[in-house]
Amino acid sequence: MNLAEQLNSGQPDTLPSRLMPDILERLQSVPRLMVLDVGLGVHETVAFFGDRRCRLHFAGIHDALHSPPRVEHQRQPGQLVDKQAEEAASYEAWRQHFAQSMNYPTDTRFDVCLFWDLFNYLDDIAIKAFADVLSPYLSDQTLAHAYLLLKADNGFSSREYGIKSAGEIAIRAGAHNSLDYFPRPQARVTSMISDFSVNHSVLRRDGLLEVSLRSKTGTAR
């Protein structure tokens, strides 16, 4: 059974990760780990962190994308489009939308953020709104992991991700194939998540770019 068949059958499979081992190694010295996973609470991730002091926050952001915010643009007949105003209204709608999913205590500071493939489902304005909502919960030592789609791919499919081991990512078929996706260069994504800089990136055979990120203001762990 190939990977596509395994995903469609609901059976979990694994992907090797070249970057996650380094991220997890850098977190070994953290006495009580704070983890943000933008996906769902899959068994593998819960089990992986279960043997250490840790608090997991599963945001389920992908589910929120099935009901995106609606922005009403009221214009009189013949009135010119104010693109800047429309983009500002869209940004504010997305910011409020994400704030509902990430309403954490004000003293929350995440040590690692597992973004998985979230950014591929957000347009530029939504990414900026997401990053701004997340920003207060980051420290100068926060690390992160993501998969980026660099170009259009008819084989791109929705997945749910989890950490099976330091070098293995568990994957299952997701429920988000109906969502639009937005391939773009790495530099364009990182310009919108301005709290982070790229630590390493590896292009996978399936066309996804695996990326590890670190807080711009912090020093290396």
Determine, yes or no, domain membership for 75: no
Per-residue confidence (pLDDT) for residue 17, from 0 to 100: 97
Strand-pair category, 138-149 with 208-215? antiparallel
pLDDT in tens, 1-12: 334 444 444 567
Determine, yes or no, domain membership for 17: yes
Mention every residue, 6+ apart, whose C-beta is less than 8 A from residue 29.
Answer: 221
Q: Reply yes or no on whether the pLDDT at 56 is more than 80.
A: yes
Mean pLDDT to the nearest integer, 39-49? 93
Mean pLDDT to the nearest integer, 94-107? 94
Determine, yes or no, domain membership for 221: no
pTM of the model: 0.88
The chain-wide mean pLDDT, for the chain, equals 88
Per-residue confidence (pLDDT) for residue 77, from 0 to 100: 61
Residue 144 or 3, more confident: 144
Determine, yes or no, domain membership for 78: no
For residues 183 and 41, what is the distance between their CA atoms, to the nearest angstrom? 26
Q: Reply yes or no on whether the pLDDT at 163 is more than 80.
A: yes
Report the CATH number that the domain containing residue 167 is assigned in CATH.
3.40.50
Domain count for the chain, please give it. 1
**Domain containing 166: what range?**
3-69+83-215
What b/e sequence results for 153-188 when a residue is b if at least 16 CB atoms lie within 10 Å of its CB, and e otherwise?
Answer: eeebbbbbbbbbeeebbbbbbbebeebebbebeeee
Determine, yes or no, domain membership for 30: yes
